[in-house]
Amino acid sequence: MKNYAKFIGKRVFYMLMTLFLIATITFFLMKLLPGTPYSNQDKLSPEQIHIMNEKYGLNKPILVQYGIYLFGLVTGDLGVSFQFNNTPVTELIASRIGPSAQIGIQAVVVGTLVGIVLGIIAAMKQGTWVDSSATFAAIIGRSIPNFVFAVLLQLVFGVWFNVLPIALWTGFASSILPSIALAISPMADSARFTRTEMVDVLSSDYVELARAKGLGKWEVAFKHGLRNVLIPLVTILGPMTVGLMTGSMVVESIFAIPGIGEQFVKSIMTNDYPTIMGVTMLYSLLLVSVILLVDVLYGIIDPRIRVATEGEA
């Protein structure tokens, strides 16, 4: 167990180094953007722009700006937004993370659980119309962008039946359609991977032994097969979650949800350096945290992996 803790410690170190590299690359890329971060820059004289640059510290040497930026990251100071009335970026993120987190978590949980169930059913009904239908649904769900599903959901449930809100944020009801739109992709991925792994597991020797002991096929599937299926599923869960976060930017714009995705799009269009870098670092932190969580879950789901990592450490 001590060696396993060292293994996790190494992963935490790699996570911090990754965040440092992302912060550095993002900072210098921002400096390559054309124009200024001021919305009315065409109406400002060179003298006014100089005064504004001095106010925000943009006239300092780039390495000095870089040092201030890194110090701010460590202390939790992400600067102020140039486009949102000089509001601290941390406050902007805190005020908008709620809706984004809610629809993201709902989409991941619902999409993954439904996908696992569909994948198991398809594997148990291998070669039948049920299997073909589930496979076709997974292909459609992975091929069509989530913003297309978002528009279709707005049309059907918001316009035709008028049972759910299609824009703005009024509470849980406003989260249902965007969550469904975002859940389609993880549902398709989970169903496809679960079916593939379950088919292999059901043909293994220990499953045949369980069947010989008199266990029913569904009991074998859930008690003996699901645990082994979860290992490769956890592998794709990290990238799938991050892909869901980045895809939510467009979906939030479609449903006019005041989330981080909408804020990020606006900050890019206006060259709002602090907001761009702040949201980028938030997404990066979520990404590396999910990857770290996947490493930890490996050892929990399969003790053999924990033993192997102890040997590596």
Residue in the block written with tokens 């999409």: 111
User: Exposed, middle or buried: residue 205 (CB in 10 Å: 0-12, 13-18, 19+)?
Assistant: exposed
**Is 236 in contact with 74 (CB distance < 8 Å)?**
no
**Is 11 in contact with 295 (CB distance < 8 Å)?**
yes
pLDDT classification of 245: cutoffs 50, 70, 90:
low
pLDDT classification of 305: cutoffs 50, 70, 90:
low
What CA–CA distance (Å, rounded) separates 210 from 30?
59
pLDDT at 117: 87
Residue 263's contacts (CB-CB under 8 Å, 6 or more residues apart) are 92, 93, 96, 275, 279
Would you list the domain boundaries of the chain?
92-269
Task: Express each pLDDT in 106-140 by its tens digit.
Answer: 898 899 899 988 888 888 888 888 888 888 888 88
Residues above pLDDT 90, as percent of the chain: 10
User: Exposed, middle or buried: residue 292 (CB in 10 Å: 0-12, 13-18, 19+)?
Assistant: middle
**Is 100 in contact with 259 (CB distance < 8 Å)?**
yes
- Asked whether the predicted pLDDT for residue 246 surpasses 60, the reply is no
pLDDT at 304: 58
State the amino acid at position 5 in one-letter form: A
Residue length of the chain: 313
Token pair for 164: 């759910």
What b/e readout covers 209-229, taking b as 16+ CB neighbours within 10 angstroms? ebeeeeeeeeebbeebbbebb
pLDDT classification of 3: cutoffs 50, 70, 90:
low
- Asked whether the predicted pLDDT for residue 73 surpasses 80, the reply is yes
Q: For helices 172-202 and 226-254, what crossing angle results, to 10°?
A: 150
Task: Express each pLDDT in 23-39 by its tens digit.
Answer: 999 999 888 877 666 66
pLDDT at 151: 92
pTM of the full structure = 0.76
Residue in the block written with tokens 């978590």: 105
Q: Name the CATH topology of 92-269.
A: MetI-like fold (1.10.3720)
The half-sphere exposure of 177 on its side-chain side, counting CA atoms within 13 A, is: 30
